[in-house]
Chains A and B, each alone.
Chain A
Amino acid sequence: MNLVSNIPVLVIIIPLFSAILIPVFGRISRSFGWYISLFATFFSFIISISLLNTVLTTGKISYRLGGWEPPWGIEYLVDYLNGYVLVVVGLIAFIVTVFAKKSVEKEIDADKITPFYSVYMLFITGLMGIIITGDIFNLYVFIEIASLSSYALVAMGRKRAALMASYNYLILGTIAATFILLGIGYLYMVTGTLNMADLSRRLPALYNSKVVLTAFAFFTVGISLKLALFPLHIWMPNAYTFSPSVVSAIMASTATKYGAYILIRIMFSVFTLDFDIRVIPFNEILVFLSSVAIIAGSVIALAQTNLRRMLAYSSVGQIGYIVLGAAIANQLAMTGGLIHILNHALMKGTLFLVAGSILYMTGIEEISDLNGMGRKMPLTMAAFTIGALSMIGFPLTVGFVSKWYLALGALDAGMWPLVLVIIISSLLTAVYFGRIIERIYFRDSIGAGEDSNQIIGQSGQSEAPMSMVLPTLILAGLCIVFGIAAFFPVSIAAKAANMLLGGG
């Protein structure tokens, strides 16, 4: 038995097995679904940490699925970049699963709880697979696993609008997946290989080929759709607003991250910087698009009255930051973009968990009903405040770290207008979170929402149950921990950035 050498595949096998076992054990008792999910996400998280640790000490890990050699067989390759993203996804998946128990019991029909956890674990399997695989077709398969399960998850929302949101997401997601598949097909046509490392060796000779350019165009549009980059974001706000709280939390903090990961992987690992900058002015296009995304996301978020919809539009802007870091493509900005993958997952995770807790306790979804919540749910609202400050980019929080590196990178590249973009967006963020914080702490709750139940009416505190408050507070705490002790994630992100930019 050599489980240790098989660790890279276990990170997928464990959630996959749990996704299959949940329907079987769920027949015995509904509570098994949550326990198995918790167990599986915990072990995936531990394994992803150990993978990252191995990568940091000994370098890349390559795993041959089925024992077939890489250019022919499927290879799982863990390097600085995906080792790091794996830990981010593993952490969020575990914490959100802890949170899920109560929230799912409340928001999902009793007979749908078992299928929910099964599909949820399938989604995690897909995420882990996307990140760890070194084979571009295998990547597509995992994208489909993650996407199909996320359509089902979104559709499980309480309101009927969830079905429409899921349907829109299904159509656009399928278009995106088809485009990615076409891109893969074109690359395979000219190179005859599907292994990413092999592709990056063979492609430079073909950079002026029209087929490769077409493939790249398909990849860009397909991935941007998955990523919800600004003009292609329209599926996202509805999907996040109407899905169950747990789903919006896990999707907002991981699903868009895998999009960002694929974009960075394709741009810098399959293609090279040489292609992105010299062959076509791709980076300039992306810098422009992501700047527009950053500003537009923040402006539209200002106009929202629904809490989760506002958070979704704020995600549109935040995704812009990650893409901006990749598009500027120098060491500092790339580090900033990569570190924002972790940071945004932490703060958006916190904020969506808070939204889930509020929904669980009071049924409130509208921002205007949040008056006086600071007194009713002090711990949850403290977490919200930390998350909000972090989104604004307040010093000592994670948001500041990523914006700092992005601004430095922009200056380094001589693109000083981008600093202006970052500052304007931070100010807008301050406005749209500021008005909520003002409601939470400085206004009395006169007209609480119609949905609010008796607990609120009895005045005084009505904090969410511990199993919901604790994960929220842990995520909020991490926003501060990694804001102060930023050197640790930054050092990993810097190594990954160095690797991607051809520093070896």
Chain B
Amino acid sequence: MKEHIVVRTVCSILIPFIQLFALYVVANGESSPGGGFQGGVILGASIILYAIVFGMKSGRKRVSERLSDLLISAGVLIYAGVGLLAIFAGGAYLEYGALPLGTKKLASHLGIYGIEIGVAITVAAVMITIFFETARHEDD
């Protein structure tokens, strides 16, 4: 689709907003519809859109295989790490309230944020990986 100038221009304007919206969905997941999974899907979709419009190669230049592999692990690590931190802070696994972050309520808030961010990273990276892996043959 590299020759379609309209598509390219619209996408290069839209993609930053899509990503911003993804962050908004992640950040609001704990109190309103949305959350890590949905936000992650939107974030992943923005990269996939980029790869569809500008070509697989430039897509992989933005998010290399190495980076997306690392992000898959990093997201789960953040999730599991928050849980483990709660244990070190004296609570049960994933007991956010026990985290030493001000009041119990605030700690719960921040703990869930941590989890949502972890989920978002992994979901986005997995989406991207699945897209590139299934689309690879057409591009070669």
- Bound-state CA distance A66–B94 (Å) is 4
Among B69, B83, B90, B95, the residue within 8 A (CB) of A23 is B69
- Bound-state CA distance A419–B98 (Å) is 57
Within A1-52, which residues are at the interface with B (CB < 8 Å)? 1-3, 6, 9, 13, 16-17, 20-21, 23-24, 27
Among B66, B90, B93, the residue within 8 A (CB) of A66 is B93
Is the pair B87, A6 in contact by a Cβ cutoff of 8 Å? yes
Is the pair B73, A21 in contact by a Cβ cutoff of 8 Å? yes
Interface size on A, residues (CB 8 A): 18
Most buried by B among A2, A13, A23, A66: A66
- Bound-state CA distance A27–B68 (Å) is 13
The yes or no answer to B84 lying at the interface (CB within 8 A) is: yes
Is the pair B92, A20 in contact by a Cβ cutoff of 8 Å? no
- Bound-state CA distance A21–B69 (Å) is 12
Is the pair B87, A66 in contact by a Cβ cutoff of 8 Å? no
Among B72, B73, B95, the residue within 8 A (CB) of A67 is B95
With contact pairs A65-B93, A66-B95, A67-B92 given, residues A20 and B69 touching in the complex (Cβ less than 8 Å): no
Collect the chain B residues with CB atoms within 8 Å of residue A66's CB: 92-96
Is the pair B80, A2 in contact by a Cβ cutoff of 8 Å? no
A-B contact pairs, 26 of them (CB 8 A): A1-B88, A1-B90, A3-B87, A6-B92, A9-B87, A9-B93, A13-B80, A13-B84, A16-B80, A17-B77, A17-B80, A20-B76, A21-B73, A21-B77, A23-B72, A24-B70, A24-B73, A24-B77, A63-B92, A65-B94, A66-B92, A66-B96, A67-B92, A67-B95, A67-B97, A67-B98
The yes or no answer to A375 lying at the interface (CB within 8 A) is: no
Q: Is the contact region of chain A dominated by helix, strand, or loop, or is it mixed?
A: helix
The yes or no answer to B34 lying at the interface (CB within 8 A) is: no
The yes or no answer to B91 lying at the interface (CB within 8 A) is: yes
- Bound-state CA distance A2–B80 (Å) is 17
Is the pair B77, A20 in contact by a Cβ cutoff of 8 Å? yes
Collect the chain A residues with CB atoms within 8 Å of residue B77's CB: 17, 20-21, 24
Q: Is the contact region of chain B dominated by helix, strand, or loop, or is it mixed?
A: helix
Return B104 CB to nearest CB of chain A, in Å: 11
Collect the chain A residues with CB atoms within 8 Å of residue B94's CB: 65-66
Collect the chain A residues with CB atoms within 8 Å of residue B87's CB: 1-3, 6, 9
The yes or no answer to A64 lying at the interface (CB within 8 A) is: yes
Is the pair B88, A67 in contact by a Cβ cutoff of 8 Å? no
Closest to B94 in A: A66
Chain A residues in the interface with B (C-beta under 8 A): 1-3, 6, 9, 13, 16-17, 20-21, 23-24, 27, 63-67
Within B68-112, which residues are at the interface with A (CB < 8 Å)? 69-70, 72-73, 76-77, 80, 83-84, 87-88, 90-98
- Bound-state CA distance A66–B70 (Å) is 27
Given A2-B90, A13-B84; 6 other pairs, CB 8 A cutoff: A1-B87, A2-B87, A24-B70, A24-B77, A65-B93, A67-B91
- Bound-state CA distance A419–B70 (Å) is 57
- Bound-state CA distance A6–B70 (Å) is 29
Is the pair A9, B92 in contact by a Cβ cutoff of 8 Å? yes
Is the pair B93, A13 in contact by a Cβ cutoff of 8 Å? yes
Return B4 CB to nearest CB of chain A, in Å: 37
- Bound-state CA distance A66–B92 (Å) is 5
Is the pair B93, A23 in contact by a Cβ cutoff of 8 Å? no
- Bound-state CA distance A64–B96 (Å) is 13
Is the pair B72, A64 in contact by a Cβ cutoff of 8 Å? no
Collect the chain B residues with CB atoms within 8 Å of residue A67's CB: 91-92, 95, 97-98
Return B127 CB to nearest CB of chain A, in Å: 17
Those 5 A-B pairs whose CB atoms lie nearest each other, nearest first:
A67-B95, A66-B94, A9-B93, A67-B92, A20-B76
Collect the chain A residues with CB atoms within 8 Å of residue B93's CB: 6, 9, 13, 65-66
Is the pair A65, B92 in contact by a Cβ cutoff of 8 Å? yes
Return B66 CB to nearest CB of chain A, in Å: 8
- Bound-state CA distance A469–B95 (Å) is 44
Collect the chain A residues with CB atoms within 8 Å of residue B70's CB: 24, 27
- Bound-state CA distance A467–B95 (Å) is 41
Is the pair A13, B83 in contact by a Cβ cutoff of 8 Å? yes
Collect the chain A residues with CB atoms within 8 Å of residue B84's CB: 13, 17
With contact pairs A20-B77, A23-B69 given, residues A64 and B92 touching in the complex (Cβ less than 8 Å): yes
